[in-house]
């Protein structure tokens, strides 16, 4: 009886030892397997914050989408990673090549804001790497097209309060510097502004100037390096409605 009892005890001990080894072996095997199989899930987007130095309505695009407009254009790129961890490495690559054979610059944050100040076509991709497992993610490219610069200066407007052509404004694209000054016939400065989105309402020091001919000087710089130096007349015609505006370009 003692012998049978000993065998039974030995068998039970062997079973316990076998189960412990089996569990330990599975644990070692599954951890690296899970790490390698983990997928990076991201839904990156790009949001236009401003164009021509003026805030926009915040249009948003996904990879493969495109923004087209004038400089300076500010765009926010967001990675939108599900279950983000500290082992993820982010890289936003900016290129002027569709195949990304060369890179203009890189940024390494989850959210990146960049202002495009030079005319041209740009492609932006997001790359994410899990440094713990070497799993990688690559997005399709966002496209940003910045138009060539342009400046056209009107020669008349009618600030009569009818809601039509009440403010003198230039027509422009991709200007990174701008300055305009209005003078009277004696060379006295009446009004000036340095934002091409703004203009002149026909007043000086809070008072409306008389109808007649005034002189304007505009100096500007395009995002493509083109310099604009315009000198010309402005006709104030309050007795006229729409249709009185002419334009002159450089």
Report d(CA 179, CA 112) in Å as an integer. 31
pLDDT by position in tens, the chain (length 250): 444 444 444 444 444 433 333 332 222 222 333 444 468 999 999 999 999 878 999 999 999 999 999 999 999 999 999 887 889 999 999 999 999 999 999 999 999 999 999 999 999 999 999 998 889 999 999 999 999 999 999 999 999 999 999 999 999 999 999 999 999 999 999 999 999 999 999 999 999 999 999 999 999 999 999 999 999 999 999 876 544 444 444 4
Closest C-alpha to 170, from 155, 192, 148 = 155
Closest C-alpha to 75, from 99, 59, 95 = 59
**Would you state the pLDDT for residue 240?**
63
**Would you state the pLDDT for residue 20?**
36
**Would you state the pLDDT for residue 52?**
86
Report d(CA 211, CA 248) in Å as an integer. 20
**Would you state the pLDDT for residue 28?**
23
**Would you state the pLDDT for residue 247?**
44
The model carries a pTM of: 0.72
**Would you state the pLDDT for residue 241?**
52
**Structural domains of the chain ordered from first start:** 45-146 (2.60.40.10), 150-249 (2.60.40)
What are 147-177's pLDDT values in tens digits?
Answer: 999 999 999 999 999 999 999 999 999 999 9
Write the burial class of residue 214 (CB in 10 Å: 0-12 exposed, 13-18 middle, 19+ buried).
buried
**Would you state the pLDDT for residue 250?**
42
**For 225, left (φ over 0), alpha (ψ -120 to 50), or beta?**
left
Using alpha carbons, list the distances in angstroms from residue 119 to 37, 62, 98, 237, 250: 43, 22, 16, 37, 18
Cα angle 138-140-145, degrees, rounded to a multiple of 5: 135
């Amino acid at each position: 009886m003692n012998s049978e009892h000993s065998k039974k005890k030995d068998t039970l001990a062997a079973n316990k030892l076998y189960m412990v080894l089996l569990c330990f072996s599975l644990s070692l095997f599954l951890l690296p397997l899970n790490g390698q199989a983990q997928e990076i899930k991201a839904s990156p987007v790009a949001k236009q914050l401003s164009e021509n130095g003026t805030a926009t309505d915040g249009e948003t695009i996904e990879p493969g989408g495109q923004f087209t407009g004038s400089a300076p254009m500010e765009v926010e790129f967001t990675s939108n990673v599900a279950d983000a961890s500290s082992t993820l490495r982010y890289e936003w690559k900016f290129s002027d090549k569709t195949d990304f054979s060369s890179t203009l610059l890189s940024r390494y944050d989850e959210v990146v804001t960049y202002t495009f100040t030079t005319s041209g076509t740009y492609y932006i991709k997001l790359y994410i790497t899990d440094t713990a497992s070497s799993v990688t993610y690559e997005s399709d490219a966002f496209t940003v097209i910045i138009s060539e610069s342009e400046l056209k200066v009107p020669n008349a407007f009618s600030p009569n309060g009818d809601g039509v052509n009440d403010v003198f404004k230039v027509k422009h694209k991709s200007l990174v510097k701008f300055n305009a000054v209005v003078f009277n016939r004696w060379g006295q400065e009446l009004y000036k502004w340095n934002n091409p989105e703004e203009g002149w309402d026909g007043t000086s020091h809070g008072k409306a100037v008389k109808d007649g001919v005034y002189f304007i000087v505009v100096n500007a710089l395009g995002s493509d390096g083109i310099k604009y130096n315009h000198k010309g007349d402005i006709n104030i015609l309050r007795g006229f409605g729409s249709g009185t505006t002419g334009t002159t370009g450089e």
